[in-house]
Amino acid sequence: MINNIKKDAEERMEKSVQSMLDAFKRVRTGRANPNILDNVSVNYYGSPTPIAQVANIIVEDGRSLAINPWERKMLPDIEKAIMKSDLGLNPITTGDVIRLHMPALTEETRKDFIKLARSEAEKGRVSVRNIRRDANAAIKDLLKDKQISEDEERGGQDQIQKLTDKFIAKVDSLLADKEKDLMQV
């Protein structure tokens, strides 16, 4: 029973870390990365659709992306969607291709992005701690229902704490990598 609780907690913690990683992808660095457009949707035949599903997104060089829509009529819609998103990018349409140039980050914007990354990391830590709390409560319920002994409860809570420490360390490590990435010129 404790192993099931631990396994469930580990899966949920892994999802929390993955969610944080997805949020990190949206924090742009000075380099071109197609993942920055993951949350930008365009109206495609009446339904919001991610840009990656209606166009090819290509990294041309270190600082620019090329978006090549599969249907030419999607050009203005994609351009509007990018401008409405708060990515701070200005699309330039040339023929059948939309180009996005990633402006160089100033020190101030880098610091703002680091604050954003730290905020996302803190959300990840809080999520992991909430999962720990839920798992410990489930273990205490087992004890209350006399399905496990007090020693098993303590052992289970120790296992959950070790799991929590492992995932908190993972969050901190990923944050350090993102900060290093953001500070590169």
Sheet holding 55-61, edge to edge: 55-61, 64-69, 97-101, 91-94
Are the C-beta atoms of 38 and 52 separated by less than 8 Å? yes
pLDDT computed for residue 85 by the predictor: 82
**E-strand stretches of the chain:** 41-44, 47-50, 55-61, 64-69, 91-94, 97-101
pLDDT computed for residue 63 by the predictor: 80
Structure confidence by residue, pLDDT tens digits, 57-92: 988 887 888 999 988 888 888 888 888 887 778 888
Q: Which residues pair with 97 in a beta bridge?
A: 94
Structure confidence by residue, pLDDT tens digits, 85-108: 877 788 888 888 999 888 777 888
Are the C-beta atoms of 52 and 34 separated by less than 8 Å? yes
Q: Which domains, ranges and CATH numbers included, belong to the chain?
A: 2-26+106-183 (1.10.132.20), 34-101 (3.30.1360.40)
pLDDT computed for residue 111 by the predictor: 86
pLDDT computed for residue 83 by the predictor: 87
Name which of 28, 42, 22 is nearest 89 in CA terms.
28
pLDDT computed for residue 135 by the predictor: 94
- Per-residue confidence at 2, pLDDT binned at 50, 70, 90? confident
State the burial class of residue 143 (Cβ atoms within 10 Å of its Cβ: 0-12, 13-18, 19+).
Answer: middle
Structure confidence by residue, pLDDT tens digits, 7-40: 999 999 999 999 998 888 777 666 777 888 888 8
DSSP, collapsed to helix, strand or coil, labels residue 97 as: strand
Structure confidence by residue, pLDDT tens digits, 93-150: 888 899 988 877 788 888 888 898 999 999 999 999 999 999 999 999 998 988 888 8
Q: Which helix (H) or strand (E) holds 177?
A: helix 150-183
